[in-house]
Amino acid sequence: MSNSEELITIVGTSYLELIVPEFLEKSFEAYSKKDFSKKQFQVSIYENAFATAGIVLTAIGIESYRNRIYALDRKIVKKVASDISSIFFDKNDKFPVEKFENHLNEIFVVRDVIVHNHVYNVKVKFDEEWEMTGHTQALIKGYGDDKFKKLVNTRAKKTKDLLLNIQPSKIGFEDLFVVLVFFECFVGISEKLLGRKYVPFNFWREVEEIGTDDLSRYLTYFFNKTTNKNFISIGTKLFLELKALYEPYLPNEKDFFINNRCRKCGEYGFRQMNNIYYCKKCKNEINFYSNT
């Protein structure tokens, strides 16, 4: 008697489980050494290299998950963002399909910016001490497709909704962090609307000898360590927007970064690794073991 088994051969999803977390940590290592009070027209090559690689691999992973979803449902693939958005909408016609498609396309715009290496003409001004006082930059003609033109604020050099940098040398830890926050939403939405077999994301990572299988708390570790007040402020506003859009479509029994907020003051980063429940802003604390 012989046995047989049908397999869906998807490899790109492994990047998100095994490689992207390593790149997040490496980019944060360089990012955390920056002086955020100084003007900068680019991030360090170390932060940039790991962050851009992480974003590209995340985009590949999302596309791989799309391929898995469509293979299981015997559907023909077309375009990644519209494919995923439409299948979510088919399961729940209240799903914010247009916003989700735009958000996902913004990630693919940044992927294209990196992979095709958009070239900018940058002019930098310095004072007598060689401290940067300002700069101008212009994208050389020939780069940017229709999707780029629709989703990018060319004056700010960022995508319109997720605020991701689109000047290649400016892309860093913060961009990769936001991409992973959105990716976590994608995983959760997939689980609730489609079932876990469609987007099986198996996460485990150790930081400072503390392990976690929770991507939300892993991301919280880095968010709580950043000293860039501007990113905390702008990021908080963005995460609240994502929360308003996607929280109704996430599993109730799981943690997600977009709803990981202090019960008293609303600050992000309350539930942390190692069963720590503590707000760095208002000092609200819950003892996990005594439940007080």
pLDDT digits (tens, 9 = 90+) for 197-211: 999 999 999 999 999
Q: Are residues 292 and 177 in the same domain?
A: no
User: What gap in Å lies between CA 182 and CA 179, rounded to an integer?
Assistant: 5
Judged by phi (left if over 0) then psi (alpha if -120 to 50, else beta), residue 200 lies in beta
**pLDDT over threshold 90, residue 10:** no
Q: Are residues 74 and 186 in the same domain?
A: yes
pLDDT, residue 292, reads 41
Q: Is residue 165 part of a domain?
A: no
DSSP secondary structure letters along 110-177: HHHHHHTT--EEEEEEE-TT--EEEEEEEEPTT---HHHHHHEETTTTEETTT--B-SGGG--HHHHH
pLDDT, residue 289, reads 57
Q: What percent of the chain has pLDDT over 70?
A: 97
Q: Is residue 51 part of a domain?
A: yes
**pLDDT over threshold 70, residue 159:** yes
The structural domain count of the chain equals 2
Q: What percent of the chain has pLDDT over 90?
A: 78
Q: Are residues 290 and 175 in the same domain?
A: no
CB 16 within 8 A of CB 201: yes
- Coil, strand, or helix at residue 261? strand
Q: Are residues 201 and 276 in the same domain?
A: no
Q: Is residue 55 part of a domain?
A: yes
Q: Are residues 198 and 278 in the same domain?
A: no
Q: What is the mean pLDDT of the chain?
A: 93
Q: Are residues 196 and 232 in the same domain?
A: yes
pLDDT tens-digit series, residues 100-154:
999 999 999 999 999 999 988 888 888 887 777 777 888 888 888 888 999 999 9
Q: Are residues 27 and 45 in the same domain?
A: yes
Q: Is residue 121 part of a domain?
A: no
pLDDT, residue 48, reads 98
Q: Are residues 266 and 255 in the same domain?
A: no
Mean pLDDT confidence for 182-188 = 98
For residue 167, the one-letter residue type is Q
Domain that holds residue 286: 262-292
Q: Is residue 247 part of a domain?
A: yes
Q: Is residue 277 part of a domain?
A: yes
Mean pLDDT confidence for 245-266 = 95
Q: Are residues 277 and 196 in the same domain?
A: no
Q: Which residues contact 150 (CB under 8 A, 6 or more apart)?
A: none
Tokens of 201: 């994301």
pLDDT, residue 39, reads 76
Mean pLDDT confidence for 257-274 = 96
Judged by phi (left if over 0) then psi (alpha if -120 to 50, else beta), residue 13 lies in alpha
Q: Are residues 274 and 180 in the same domain?
A: no
For residue 176, the one-letter residue type is L
Q: Are residues 190 and 290 in the same domain?
A: no
**What sections of the chain are H helices per DSSP?**
13-14, 20-31, 45-72, 80-91, 97-115, 146-151, 173-193, 215-225, 229-246
Q: Is residue 39 part of a domain?
A: yes
**pLDDT over threshold 80, residue 4:** no
pLDDT tens-digit series, residues 33-87:
998 888 777 899 999 999 999 999 999 999 999 999 999 999 999 999 999 999 9
User: What gap in Å lies between CA 287 and CA 227, rounded to an integer?
Assistant: 26
**pLDDT over threshold 60, residue 290:** no
